[in-house]
Amino acid sequence: MVSFQPTLNQFIRARQQEYPEAVGDFSQVMNAIALAGKLISREINLAGIVDATGYTGRMNVQGEEVAKLDEWANELIVDLLGETGCVCVMGSEEVEGPISPPGSASMGRYAVLFDPVDGSSNIDIAAPVGTIFSAQRRVTESGTGHMDDLLQPGRNQAAAGYILYGSSTMFVYTTGNGVHAFTLDPTMGEFHLTTEDLKFPDKSNIYSTNEGNAGTWLEPDQRWVEWLKQNDPATGRPYSARYIGALVADFHRILLKGGIFAYPGNTAKREGKLRLLYECSPLAFVAEQAGGRATNGLRRILDIEPTGLHQRTPYYLGNASEVELVERFHSDG
Ligand code: FBP
């Protein structure tokens, strides 16, 4: 038997035995997301050639300029998920309201949330970007899906993960049974397993945050970041600062090298910038499955009851010890 690393499809099929009730919908949803990832990876690599850089001139529901690739990738993911017939409703960073797949395709069992191109301001400088996704079983009985199927606390996620478009294209996901990472072989067009059951390393003195905002942060965050920078080798300080400006890429480094990513709130925007449902919850699920932790400074991200599709939250995730440290700064007030 010729040995090679199993493909994503083979790995999901092999693990399907863990779910006796499985009928194949889940693997169809994951395969649609993986296919979207391969196509987006190619488009990003050729961005300057295929005129995929720059902006559409439109603003999205977040009040942000829409990059051409944001729009293209959003439509691609909606189409591919819609075609599976397994998805009853979708929520995207790029679209104000719930997205219903056409016709009977909207009767599916899964509700899917996604950020088509995370960190899209990095596209034009050829720096890493990502796609973030989260799938949960519907809560409404039948028929076309509904906002209620999307507005579920993160602990209800059936699967979550991201695709990183960096020096290589990675697919990282969890279904609540560990975190598994795959690398795209563009010559074969296949994601191959590279790490099974990924765990945060123990060592962790890297912090990743836009410290340029520190002047408007709330006092506990200002004290926390000053503490990280003091010179005290006994406690591994000063920490090293690393920031790419794309959540997926900054999180992937923290997952492999250890440390903490933070996007605090500030005096003007106490809720911060990052979106709970399609940025923070999915990566929080991955972080917890890798032995880490994710909070808003006071509360577990996966226990926050969502009230709006595009709601934001202060965000801290990484090694459990590092997140607990920043929580102590917040609870000391
Ligand atoms: P989008 O690009 O999907 O809107 O994501 C938001 C984001 O770019 C994150 O990826 C990143 O962590 C953060 O915003 C960067 O914000 P800032 O430029 O304020 O540091």
pLDDT single digits (tens) 232-255: 999 999 999 999 999 999 999 999
Q: How many CA atoms lie within 13 A of 214 on its CB side?
A: 12
Is ligand 1 within 6 A of the CB of residue 65?
no
Q: Check: CATH 3.40.190.80 for 206-331?
A: yes
CA-nearest residue, atom 2 of ligand 1: 119
Single pTM value for the model: 0.97
Q: Check: CATH 3.30.540.10 for 8-195?
A: yes
- If phi > 0 it is left, if psi is from -120 to 50 it is alpha, else beta; for residue 318 that is left
Under-70 pLDDT residues of the chain: 1, 17-22, 104-106, 333
Give pLDDT, residue 20.
67
Instruction: Using the mean position of ligand 1's atoms as its centre, give its distance from the Cα of residue 247 in Å.
Output: 6
Give pLDDT, residue 18.
65
Beta-sheet strands, E only, within 46-156: 55-59, 65-67, 87-92, 110-118, 129-137
Instruction: Using the mean position of ligand 1's atoms as its centre, give its distance from the Cα of residue 248 in Å.
Output: 9
Give pLDDT, residue 204.
84
Give pLDDT, residue 60.
83
Measure the CA–CA gap between 188 and 305, rounded to whole angstroms.
42
Residues of the chain with CATH 3.30.540.10: 8-195
Which amino acid is located at 262 in the chain? A
Site to probe by mutation for ligand 1, drawn from 125, 263, 315 as the one with most ligand atoms within 8 Å of Cβ, is 263
Residues of the chain with CATH 3.40.190.80: 206-331
Give pLDDT, residue 24.
81
Instruction: Using the mean position of ligand 1's atoms as its centre, give its distance from the Cα of residue 263 in Å.
Output: 9
Write the DSSP symbol of residue 29.
H
Q: Cβ of 100: how many Cβ atoms within 10 Å? A: 17
Q: Are 115 and 132 in contact (CB under 8 A)?
A: yes
